[in-house]
Structure formats: C-alpha cells, structure tokens
Structure 1
Amino acid sequence: MKIFAIANVPGSLTPDQLQPHMPAEVHATLQLYLDGKVEQFWFRDKSGPIFLMDVGSIEQARTTLDSLPLVAAGLMSYELLPVMPLMPLGRLLPNA
C-alpha cells in the first residue's frame, strides 16, 4: 500500500527545540528508507518532510512514523494519505 505521509510542524517550533533530536531523526529516517518503508522523501521549507511510504496498512504507517524521534517527542505529526494508481486511465486502453 502506498501512503503519502505529510509532516505537520507547529509554527512555534524553533531550531533550538529541533536540534537535539536531529541526529536520531536522520538516522531513523535513513533506516526506514533502507528498510523499504519509505520509498522517496522530499522536504518543504518550514513545513517538514513528505514521505512516500510502502507499507501493509495505514496502521503500520502510523506505527512506523510514531517511532520517529520528533513524533515521539511531540514535536511533529503526520497526515497520512493512502494513494493508488489512477484507475480511470485503464478506460483509455482498447480491450485486448
């Protein structure tokens, strides 16, 4: 299952609050990538990361993201958006 995980960062969060968590956050994010749970990732300035995840369920995505240091510390949360292939495109193909 593909899921976009879009970070929500409180506007009041400061770099000083983030800094102590960043080494562990980077390590954990890289591990999710190497484990195949995060396929791609992007960053939005002042908004945080967006992950394209490949997981078994939305619950698995939530549990995975809850283990990230910034989420565990209550400094970040994620909106989860399940996505799938654009099925109506199949209507454009002739029947074989």
Structure 2
Amino acid sequence: MKVFAIGSIRQALTPEQRQRIMPKEVPDTLKLYLDGTIEQFWFRDDPATPGVIFLMNVESVDHAKAAVDALPLTAEGLMSFDLLSVGPLAPLRLLLQ
C-alpha cells in the first residue's frame, strides 16, 4: 500500500532542539528509506508550512503512522503528519472497455 505522509513542523525549532534532535532524526529517516518504508521523500517548499512529504510503501496506514510517530521530531511533538492512502487511478479502467 502507498501512503503519503505529509509532515508539518508545529513550531520553529530552537537552536538547542535542532542540535539535540536532528542528529537522531536524519539517521532514523534514512533507516526508513533504506528498509523500503519510505520510498521517496521531499522537503515542503512552503515557508508558511515547513516540513516533509514521504511516499511510503507500507502494509497499512497504521504501519505508516507508527513509523512517523517514532521519528524524534514527531515523538517530541514538534512535527505532525497527515496520512493519505493512495492507489491506482481506478477510473482509467473505463478507457479499457
């Protein structure tokens, strides 16, 4: 199943938070990428709502939630994620009739 995980930073990180959390956040995110849970990732290019977008390859939305909830920024309440399951564009089947 594919899930878009759309992450939003809830508040700007202080220099102390950045120094303490980011050395854990980056390797944890890379582990999810290397194990195939995160298939692609992007930085949100919107200054009003900074964050990330992950395209995840997971068994369920609950699995995606557990993965992003374990990331340090989310665990500390500094980031939240909206999860959106997606699939093939089913109406295209009408073109095959």
TM-score over 0.5 for the pair: yes
TM-score by length of structure 1 reads 0.89
Partner of 1:34 in structure 2? Answer: 34
CA RMSD of aligned residues (A): 1.3
Check 1:66–1:56 CA distance in 2 against 1; reply closer, same or farther (3 A cut). same
The count of corresponding residues between Structure 1 and Structure 2 is: 93
Gaps of 5+ in 1: none
In the TM superposition, what whole-angstrom CA distance separates every residue of 1:8-55 from its partner, at most 9, and x where no partner exists? Answer: 212x32352333211111100100001100000000144111000010
TM-score by length of structure 2 reads 0.88
Q: Following the alignment from structure 1 to structure 2, what is the Cα–Cα distance between the partners of residues 33 and 14? A: 24
Partner of 2:13 in structure 1? Answer: 14
Gaps of 5+ in 2: none
Partner SS for 2:41? strand
Identity between Structure 1 and Structure 2 (%): 55
Where in structure 1 do 4 or more consecutive aligned residues deviate above 6 Å?
A: none
Partner SS for 2:25? helix
